[in-house]
Amino acid sequence: MIVLSGVSKIFASRHGAITAVDNININVNKGQIYGIIGYSGAGKSTLIRLLNGLEKPTSGSIIVAGQDIAQARGEQLRQARLKVSMVFQHFNLLWSRTVAENIAFPLQIAGVNKSQIQQRVNELIKLVGLEGRENAWPAQLSGGQKQRVGIARALANNPDVLLCDEATSALDPQTTDAILDLLLDINRQLNLTIVLITHEMHVVRKVCQRVAVMENGRIVEEGPVLDIFTHPKQPITQTFVRQIAGQNTPREPFNPLWVQGIGGSILKLIFPGGEARQPVIADVIQHFNVALNILHGNITQTVDGAFGELYVHMDDASQLENIVQYLNQKRVETEVIRHA
């Protein structure tokens, strides 16, 4: 869907040339949610503006939905840009228009007739969960609702690609998760390709299948989200991955001393990602009718499954071998820490 080859963008400034985007190669498949993560100034926004033709590259080619955006001019560029929509951090709504009128705006520009606009706006309102708010003014909406309008407006002309530039960065954590769920939902319903720019690893973890890490205009690391999370190579990537570890799990390793006075067996489960989306623990409890106690864990969920490790304790070890076999079949690796 998107192929960038050798793309660079150099800005001339009073202090000399600034290479905002430096020889970037990216491939985004149709229906993928692709994340680009980096700190402020890394060149993310410049890269996304190259994707929708708002900037021309200094060198390289940018193919989006079969069109060379870098070469297109005039009407051809206008048509190509209808296929690439954008959602912004600060929503960019028209304040003197209602919710419905904001969503209708790109349809009016595209010359769609009135009754079709009405119909499409109603569909979009439903899709983003804004029923009943059609006639509200942007100023009367919460941040999350404003971004729902931004998303509906971006989808109005059935784009092939949705670009999100820090779309959740102005929102609180709960609202961020709700908007990310909406993006996931839209991606699955419409098989829409989404390129998402962020400085938060949480956003990447929750919705992206692939991620590129950007630093000083370059992509320093790229791959499936699960691989990047489990084996971050570059120091900057390791820092981003630690953002998540610090958020929801204790970082210290399991300490056997914690369970010194407790009898029974202890089993370590290692989730490699990919397969571990099923509720394995609940399965084991049901299947073997055992009481399992979770002692310590470090599990991260991504769209491609969970990875991490979990330490469980059981008093009744009579079925330990069977449980181990069952887990291994489910591609959860195990290690018996203590056999009672």
Ligand X SMILES: Nc1ncnc2c1ncn2[C@@H]1O[C@H](COP(=O)(O)OP(=O)(O)O)[C@@H](O)[C@H]1O
Closest to Mg ion by CB, 45 or 301 = 45
* Residue in 6, 21, 22, 27 with CA at minimum distance from that of residue 210: 27
What strand order describes the sheet that includes 305-314?
Answer: 293-302, 305-314, 265-272, 333-338
Say which residues have a Cβ less than 8 Å from residue 245's Cβ, sequence separation at least 6. 251, 298, 300
Q: Choose from Mg ion, ligand X, none: what does 53 bind? Cβ within 5-8 Å by kind.
A: none
Minimum distance from residue 264 beta carbon to Mg ion (Å): 52
Measured distance CA(202)–CA(271) in Å, rounded: 19
Q: How far apart are CA 230 and CA 22, in angstroms?
A: 27
Q: Which does 38 bind (CB under 5 to 8 A by kind): ligand X, Mg ion, none?
A: ligand X
Query: Under a CB-based contact definition with an 8 Å cutoff, are residues 178 and 144 in contact?
Result: yes
Nearer to ligand X, 11 or 258 (CB): 11
Q: Does 45 bind Mg ion (CB under 5 A)?
A: yes
Q: Is 169 in the site for Mg ion (CB under 5 A)?
A: no
* Residue environment code for 253-264, b if the CB has 16+ CB neighbours within 10 A, otherwise e: ebeeeebeeeee
Considering the complex, what minimum distance in angstroms separates the CB of residue 166 from ligand X? 8
Which segment (45-53, 54-62, 76-84, 330-338) binds Mg ion by CB under 5 A? 45-53
Q: Least distance in Å: CB of 165 to ligand X?
A: 7
Identify what 42 binds: ligand X, Mg ion, none; CB under 5 to 8 Å per kind: ligand X
Residues that bind ligand X (CB under 6 A): 11, 13, 18, 20, 38, 40-46
Residues in contact with 162: Cβ distance below 8 Å, sequence separation at least 6, in sequence order:
85, 86, 87, 151, 154, 155, 183, 186, 192, 193, 194, 195
Does residue 118 touch Mg ion according to CB under 5 A?
no
| Per-residue binding letters, 224-243, with Mg ion (x by CB under 5 A) | --------------------
Residue nearest to Mg ion (CB): 45
If the CB atoms of residues 40 and 113 are measured against ligand X, the closer one turns out to be: 40
> Which residues are CB-contacts of 13 (< 8 A; sequence separation ≥ 6)?
none
Quote the tokens at residue 258.
């914690």
CB of 17 to ligand X, least distance (A): 9
18 interacts with, out of Mg ion, ligand X, none, CB within 5 to 8 A per kind: ligand X
Comparison of 200 and 304: residue with beta carbon closer to ligand X:
200
- Using the minimum distance from each CB to ligand X, give the nearer residue, 21 or 306: 21
The region of 39-47, 62-70, 320-328, 332-340 touching Mg ion under the rule CB under 5 A is 39-47
Of 266, 340, 262, the C-alpha closest to 309 is: 266
Number of Cβ within 10 Å of residue 216's Cβ equals 14
Question: Of ligand X, Mg ion, none, which one sits near residue 198, judging by CB under 5 to 8 A according to partner kind?
Answer: none
Q: Which does 20 bind (CB under 5 to 8 A by kind): ligand X, Mg ion, none?
A: ligand X
Return the number of the residue (51 or 314) whose C-beta is nearest ligand X. 51
- C-alpha 141/C-alpha 310 separation (Å) is 42
Contact criterion met (CB below 8 Å) for 305 and 280: no
**Positions that interact with Mg ion (CB under 5 A):** 45
